Amino acid sequence: MTQDAILQFLHISAILALVVFITSEAALCRPEWMRPEIVERLVTLDRIYGIAAMTVLVTGFVRIYFGTKGAAWYWGNWLLHVKLTAFVVVALISIAPTLRFLRWRKALRANGSLPAAEEVRKARKLVMLQAHIIPFIPLAAVFLARGFGGKG
C-alpha cells in the first residue's frame, strides 16, 4: 500500500512538472515578447519539459509493473491505450517546437537574429495544442484508476 502511494505521488508530481513547463513555454512563446534571453529560456524550459515527460512515462510504467493492480490489469484496459496514444501524440507534436527553439538559439548565437513573428506564432500554436491535449491524459487516468474500461 505504501509503495503504491509513493508511486502515485511520483507519477502525479511528474505530471504537475510537465504541466508547469508546457505552461511556461506557452507563456513565453509570443512574438511581442521575443528577446535573446527568451530564446535561451525557451530552450531550457523545453529541455526540462522533455525531462518531465520522460519522468511521467517512466513513473507510469513503474506503476503498471510494480503497482497494486498489476500489469495484466492495466494492459487489458483500453483506457491505458488511450492515455499512451495521447502521450505519443503530444510527444510527436512537441518535436517541431523543440527543433524550432534550437534553431532559434543557433541563429541567435551565430548572428544575433531573433525568429520572425510568424515563426514564433507557428511554434506557439503547437505548444498550445500540446497544452490542450495533455489534460485529457489524466482524465483517462482517473477513469482507469476507478476500473472503467476494463473487461467484465
- Is residue 150 over pLDDT 60? yes
pLDDT, position 68: 87
pLDDT, position 152: 54
Phi, psi of 66 (to 5 degrees): -120, 0
pLDDT, position 149: 82
Point out the least confidently predicted range of 73-77, 107-111, 125-129, 144-148. 144-148
Q: List the grid coordinates of 96.
A: 517541431
**pLDDT one-digit tens code per residue, 34-44:** 999 999 999 99
As a CATH number, domain 2-145 is 1.20.120
Q: Cβ(26)–Cβ(131) under 8 Å?
A: yes
Look-up of cell digits 515563426: 119
Name the pTM for this structure.
0.93
pLDDT, position 147: 86
Write down the domain spans for the chain.
2-145
**pLDDT one-digit tens code per residue, 80-129:** 999 999 999 999 999 999 999 999 999 999 999 999 999 999 999 999 99
Look-up of cell digits 500554436: 125
**pLDDT one-digit tens code per residue, 4-60:** 899 999 999 999 999 999 999 999 999 999 999 999 999 999 999 999 999 999 999
HSE-up of residue 8 (Cα within 13 Å, Cβ side): 12
